[in-house]
Amino acid sequence: MELSGLELRYIVNQINMTLKSGYYVSSVNSVTKNSFLFRLHHPIEKEVILMISTQGIWLTKLKFKSLEESTLLDHFRRELERSKIDSIEQIDNERIVIIKFSSLEGKQDILILEFFRDGNLILCDKDFQIISILNPVEVRHRILKIGLRYSPPPSRGTDVFNINLDLLQSLRTESAKDLEISRWIGRTMSLPKKFVEEIVHSANVEGKKLVDISDTDLSNIYASLNELVVNVSTGTNHTPVVISDKTGRYLEALPICPSNIDRVCAEELSVKKVSLYMEALDLVLSNNIISTGKNAQTGDIDKQVAALKHDIAEQEKAKDLVILKATEIRTLAAALMTYSYQQPIETSDSEPLRKLLDSKSASILSSKGIKYVKVADELVRLEPNVAKTASSLFTRAKEMERGGSSIEEAKDRLQLNIYKLKNQAESIHKKHIFVKQQREKQWYERYRWFITSDGFLAIGGRDASSNSAIIRKYLTEQDLVFHAEVHGSPFFIIKNGRTSISQTSLLEVAQATVSYSRAWKDGLSTADSYWVLPEQIKKGAPSGQYLPKGSFVIEGKRNYMKGNEIRLAAGVMFINNQYSFVCGPVDAVKEKSVLYSTLLPGGYDPMEITKKLKNELYRASTEAKYINQNEAGEDLSSYMKGISYDEIIMTLPAGKSKISQTTKGEAMLRAIPDLSIGKQKIGIDQESN
């Protein structure tokens, strides 16, 4: 599938609607040598995965594994990671997209994506000077290589976004009258066949030539063209479908169901409706990329198979030659044996014998005083007795026939190697490179987080930087702030907790605050914490003093929570129609999770406890009768099997931990299908604290 300028306008519009100001590139990874995943972060919005490829640019929800390394990857990481996306624009109706980035230091970079012919990815500085390029270009109208300034190709066709009826009339006048109308529209507007067919069908001018088109027809064509352009580019009146062949291979993603749907079905192609055109593009283009990557992976295997097949062909030739020679030698030996019975007194070099040899394409020759029989280019010593010569020839024929059997065995071994290589290639093609939708992470998941028993969202810092971030970016006047009387304590915030909140939720956040502090690493059993109001947090140091990063001055009354038990639970929640791994105070995790394990300080290093925790919860998930699936159709045990160690370890406290028990959570027992985050409460009784 190739993207048209019209479809590209829709994609760019959708990406710009999704990427609100403030998104930056957190990481870049290659899928193939010409396809890259840009992971985009935002301080408060959800994470976005942008696929940038020579085949197109689109938002993806699929998980990928890297199939090939790319020469551009290091350049992208060095120049673009941690950079903010300033703009994404399409050049007119051309299949070219320009993305502008700016770094924290003020440096600007430009990434140019070309989606025609083989496609191209070009990284430039702010002046469009080429820093790196995937496919250098040297043609009549432009040269693109490192060090030169980027220049776009000549414009093709009329810009469908800036066309009017008068211009269309002028274009008709300038064109050949015998041209079929569909060809004229396609050439003039540079539109793909699929859209041209919709225009001529809607305007009721199918099969007509330009000479047959009246002014009314032209007006209808313009109206159909304009409607198609608006609908496709803006996403209006979309009825997106995915077209597949009878093997299930995705061929095309269309924003509107084709008018010739009956013909499509008659060609044994299947049509599948999807909710959004971006999802259809993600499905089709991602599969194209994976197919290309798999073919690249099996390229070496194909070369090995071709070489083995050539060897087998050579072995066949050698075997046929050996058998042919052995047959000729055996035929001569049989003739000599018969001759020896009929002429027992003849010498081995008599004239009658020479005539016999000549009739069998054989001859007698001498070398260093020794006589040989030459037959089928083989030399066998000529014995004084004809019968002995025949016996020697029989022996030679048998040796050659045994050699033919060895060749056959070698050929069988080669065939076995081909079979193994083909199975290897087949397994690569059958392997699912993306197996499920990429789970959309919420903004709070980059911090410590959990949901209290009363449904309040609590977030906490992981380190000095995130401590600073949650106070400076997310703290509002409706929140409560927690800190522990322990060195290395995180700040925790109860979102919207200033309104009515129960003692239960306060105790849960207090327990999380002390458990994620240095107290866990030191092996303490209890510790004290306190909470304050947002206006008590002073973000600047007093005059003449210095505050380390992640530290703040707290003024006024502190509401202490004494003797908080240092204990946590790690479990799986079903929230927002997807599974999430969470770690927090035991009662809160128990209340909201389907499975959980209780953790205590001491025992195993973080990686060891991560592995044990995953195994424990996976074992429990296979035994649990939990029917809820996430939006990708993934059940609980599949989620636990596929979760990464990184996703687990980032939720755990620093230091050693041990598992106390693993059991079903309250959400499992109640079969709760979903949860809400950050419920509003009314009022707060500070005196009770």
Look at residue 70 in the predicted model and tell me its pLDDT.
85
What does the pLDDT read at residue 685? 34
Check: CB of residue 569 under 8 Å from CB of residue 589. yes
Residue appearing with tokens 């040297």: 138
Distances (CA, A) of 610 to 181, 516, 645, 647, 657: 66, 16, 6, 10, 9
Higher-confidence residue: 543 or 502? 502
pLDDT band at 674 (very low <50, low <70, confident <90, very high): very low
**Terminal Cα distance for the chain, rounded:** 64
Q: In the numeric block, which tokens belong to residue 169?
A: 């009339």
- Predicted confidence at residue 670, as pLDDT, reads 57
Q: What would the pLDDT profile of 484-523 be if each residue is shown by its tens digit?
A: 988 889 999 998 877 778 899 999 999 999 999 999 999 9
Q: What are phi and psi of 436, to 5 degrees?
A: -160, 170
| pLDDT band at residue 367 using 50, 70 and 90 as cut-offs | confident
The mean pLDDT of 164-188, rounded to a whole number, is 86
pLDDT band for position 449 (cuts 50, 70, 90): very high
Number of H-type helices and E-type strands within the chain? 19, 29
Q: Look at phi and psi of residue 56 and say left if phi exceeds 0, alpha if psi is from -120 to 50, else beta.
A: left
Among the residue ranges 3-12, 121-130, 346-355, the one predicted with the least confidence is 346-355
Closest CA to 32 of 47, 50, 52: 52
pLDDT at 131 over 90: yes
pLDDT category of residue 675 using cuts at 50, 70 and 90? very low
Helix (H, G, I), strand (E, B) or coil at 126: coil
Whether 428 shows a pLDDT value over 70: the answer reads no
pLDDT at position 435 is 42
Contacts of 650 (CB under 8 A, 6+ apart): 462
- pLDDT-wise least confident of 74-83, 295-304, 319-328, 678-687: 678-687
Confidence check: pLDDT of 677 > 60: no
Residue 327 burial class via C-beta count within 10 angstroms: exposed 0-12, middle 13-18, buried 19 and up: middle
List the beta bridge partners of residue 137. Answer: 144
605 class by beta-carbon count within 10 Å (0-12 exposed, 13-18 middle, 19+ buried): exposed
What's the confidence (pLDDT) of residue 680?
37
Most confident of the following: 372-386, 634-648, 650-664: 650-664
Contact 574, 628 (CB under 8 A): yes
Give strand pairing partners of 56. 53
The pLDDT of residue 357? 80
- Over 80: is that where the pLDDT of 384 sits? no
pLDDT at 13: 93
Average confidence (pLDDT) over 17-41: 89
Could you tell me which residues are beta bridge partners of residue 530? 483, 560
* Sequence-distant (≥ 6) Cβ neighbours of residue 241 within 8 angstroms: 253, 254, 257, 258, 271, 272, 273, 274, 280
Least confident of 79-83, 295-299, 324-328: 295-299
Using a 10 angstrom Cβ sphere, with 0-12 exposed, 13-18 middle and 19 or more buried, the burial of residue 73 is: middle
Structure confidence at residue 689 (pLDDT)? 28
**pLDDT exceeds cutoff 60 at 663:** yes
Mean pLDDT of the region 450-471: 89
Phi, psi for residue 275 in degrees, rounded to 5: -75, -40
What's the pLDDT score for residue 544?
Answer: 63
Mean pLDDT of 216-234: 91
Task: Encode burial over 491-525: b for 16+ CB neighbours within 10 A, e otherwise.
Answer: bbbbbbbbeebeeebbbbbbbbbbbbbbbbeeeee
Task: Determine the pLDDT at residue 219.
Answer: 92
- Cross-strand pairs, 101: 85, 109
Q: What is the SS3 assignment for 161-185? A: HHCCHHHHHHHHHHCCCCCEHHHHH
Q: Is the pLDDT score of 120 beyond 90?
A: yes
Most confidently modeled range among 332-346, 421-435, 596-610, 670-684 = 596-610
Confidence at residue 631, expressed as pLDDT on a 0 to 100 scale: 55
Could you give the CA distance from residue 493 to residue 457 in angstroms, rounded to a whole number?
A: 8
Instruction: Decide if 494 contacts 448 (C-beta within 8 A).
Output: no
Query: Alpha-carbon distance 614 to 667, whole Å?
Result: 19
In eight-state DSSP terms, residue 186 is H
Distance CA 258, CA 662 (A): 54
- Give pLDDT, residue 416: 80
Q: What angle do CA 239, 231, 289 make, to 5 degrees?
A: 65
Q: What is the pLDDT of residue 251?
A: 87
- Using the predicted structure, report yes or no on whether residue 312 has a pLDDT greater than 60: yes
Beta strands in 498-626 (DSSP E): 526-532, 537-538, 553-554, 559-565, 568-575, 578-584, 593-604
Q: What percent of the chain stands above pLDDT 70?
A: 87
**662 - beta bridge partners?**
597
State the pLDDT at residue 46: 79
For 76-91, how does the pLDDT look when each residue is reduced to its tens digit (9 = 90+)?
999 999 899 999 999 9
Domains, the chain, ranges and CATH?
Answer: 5-144 (2.30.310.10), 160-296 (1.10.8), 302-430 (no CATH), 443-670 (no CATH)
Which pLDDT belongs to residue 96?
95
Average pLDDT, the chain: 83
Contact 339, 386 (CB under 8 A): yes
Taking the CA atoms of residue 375, residue 381, residue 382 and residue 383 in that order, the dihedral angle to the nearest 10 degrees is -140
Give the whole-number percent of the chain exceeding pLDDT 90: 33
| pLDDT of the residue at 100 | 96
Q: How far is CA 231 from CA 19, 159, 204, 277, in A?
A: 22, 16, 19, 12
387 Cα distance to chain centroid: 76
Q: In what order do the strands lie in the sheet with 120-125?
A: 56-59, 48-53, 35-41, 24-32, 84-90, 96-102, 108-114, 120-125, 130-133
Give the pLDDT mean for 307-328: 83
**pLDDT digit string, tens, across residues 546-590:** 667 767 888 899 999 999 999 999 999 888 778 889 999 999 999
pLDDT value at residue 59: 92
pLDDT of 678 above 50: no
- Which residues contact residue 581 at a Cβ distance below 8 angstroms, ignoring those fewer than 6 apart? 570, 571, 572, 573, 643, 647, 648, 651
- Average pLDDT for 237-249: 85
Q: How many CA atoms lie within 13 A of 105 on its CB side?
A: 6
The Cα 486–Cα 478 span in angstroms is 26
pLDDT at res. 669: 62
Q: At what angle do helices 181-189 and 215-234 cross, to 10 degrees?
A: 50
**Higher pLDDT among residues 214 and 21, named by residue:** 214
The pLDDT value given to residue 682: 29
pLDDT band per the 50, 70, 90 thresholds, residue 108: very high
Tokens of 348: 């081995």
- For tokens 């940038």, what's the residue? 52
Q: Give the per-residue pLDDT at 672.
A: 42
Provide mean pLDDT across the span 46-67. Answer: 87
**Confidence label for 681 from pLDDT (cuts 50, 70 and 90):** very low
